[in-house]
Amino acid sequence: SQTIHQWPATLVQPVGSPLSLECTVEGTSNPNLYWYRQAAGRGLQLLFYSVGIGQISSEVPQNLSASRPQDRQFILSSKKLLLSDSGFYLCASQTTTGRDTQYFGPGTRLTVL
């Protein structure tokens, strides 16, 4: 089965600072990878997805970007954080077999002050 690692687990950053969140996957090859954000009191919002190395699709225009430098590595970045970037960020992985289950990592809690 798949195991998804995310770090850091928690992060407190000032407004205007850069951001890098990392997600790595074990137990599968060539997965579809996803970044979600969960803001306080709101549901899950899909931010980015990737079907392969270097292939990134954005769901929502925003202050964030994503990259996939290796098959099982997915990175979420920002050059300058906004207060509204605060939230709980979740990485998910899915084997590329049609509508298979998405498995989630433990998440990163980001607080922007």
Q: Which of 3, 17, 84, 101 binds other proteins (CB under 8 A)?
A: 101
Residue 81 touches other proteins, criterion: CB under 8 A? no
In this structure, the strands spanning 65-70 and 55-58 are unpaired
**Token output for 34:** 């996803």
Q: How far apart are CA 106 and CA 97, in angstroms?
A: 23
Residue 5 touches other proteins, criterion: CB under 8 A? no
Strand partners, 23: 6, 74
Range in contact with other proteins (rule: CB under 8 A) among 11-19, 67-75, 77-85, 91-99: 91-99
Interface of this chain with other proteins, residues 39 to 68, rule: CB under 8 A: 42-44, 46, 49, 51, 57
